A = this chain, B = another copy of it.
Amino acid sequence: MRRQEAKRREENEIEFARIVAFSDGVFAIAITLLVLSLNVDDLNRDDLWRGIWDLRENFLAYGISFAVIGRFWLVHHRFFGEVTAFDGRLLALNMLYLAFIVLIPFSSQLLGDFGGETPSVVVYAVNLIACIVVGAWMFLYAQGAGLTLAKAESRRASIVRAGYIAAVFLLSIPVAFVAPGWAPVLWLALFYDPADRYLEDRG
């Protein structure tokens, strides 16, 4: 793309706040739409306990995806907390990033409805890897273009974090072909935050 003057945050606080609020809105809606994958219409009155029990994989997918989108939101949140200027390219990357976040309810429903199948696990993992790759691209672009305040520690923490998450999902793709049912279990590793430990070690 073409060079464009970056707008400084202090001088465009309202515009900046709108970008962040829009992103937050998209995150909040995407995370809430997850509940629509818990489909009540297929249940029947005669065997309600069994019907609810049959939704267990959908509940698991709901829980995983809620944690995943929540975690992405926190990372996005920290990233924009340190952004000091923005240009058209950063906005475009942010939009591309959100486009993959909004896909998660789809991938999540696929995972919930066809939990033990290879395709749903692969689609889910690819979706999340796309989020991480675009997120990292956005971060590195902001670093390179001097749009962020991100201190060295925070930069390293972000890279450790993104790398860790991406590795978990990449690893789950071969697992999906051998034992698709185990891939989601692997994703529980996401609750662990290597960057927190990193900060602690220094403290």
Interface residues of A (CB under 8 A from B): 1-5, 14-15, 18-22, 24-38, 40, 43, 45, 48-49, 52, 62-63, 66-67, 70, 73-74, 77, 81, 88, 91, 95, 98-99, 102-103, 105-106, 109-110, 113-114, 117-120, 123, 193, 196-197, 199-200, 203
Q: Which residue of B lies closest to A88 (CB)?
A: B196
Contact check, B21 vs A24: say whether CB atoms are below 8 A apart.
yes
Copies of this chain per assembly: 4
- In the complex the two chains form, is B33's CB within 8 Å of A114's CB? no
A95 in contact with B77 (CB, 8 Å): no
Sample of 29 A–B contacts (CB below 8 Å): A1-B196, A2-B197, A4-B199, A5-B203, A14-B81, A15-B77, A18-B24, A24-B25, A25-B25, A25-B29, A29-B33, A30-B35, A32-B33, A33-B36, A34-B102, A35-B105, A38-B103, A38-B106, A40-B109, A43-B114, A45-B114, A45-B117, A48-B114, A48-B119, A48-B120, A49-B119, A52-B123, A66-B98, A74-B91
Residues of B within 8 A of A105 (CB): 35
Q: In the complex, which residues of chain B have a beta carbon less than 8 angstroms from the beta carbon of A106?
A: 35, 38, 40
Contact, CB under 8 Å: B88 / A67: no
CB distance from A182 to the nearest CB of B (A): 18
* Of the residues B19, B35, B119, contact of A102 by C-beta under 8 Å: B35
A115: min CB distance to chain B, Å: 10
Instruction: For the A-B complex with A15-B77, A29-B32, A45-B117 known, give 15 more contacts whose Cβ atoms are closer than 8 Å.
Output: A2-B196, A4-B200, A22-B27, A24-B25, A25-B25, A35-B102, A38-B106, A40-B109, A43-B114, A48-B114, A49-B119, A52-B119, A66-B95, A66-B98, A70-B99
What is the minimal beta-carbon distance from A71 to any residue of chain B, in angstroms?
A: 9
Contacts of A193 in B (CB 8 A): 88
Q: A35-B105, A110-B43 are in contact. Are A22 and B22 (CB under 8 A)?
A: no
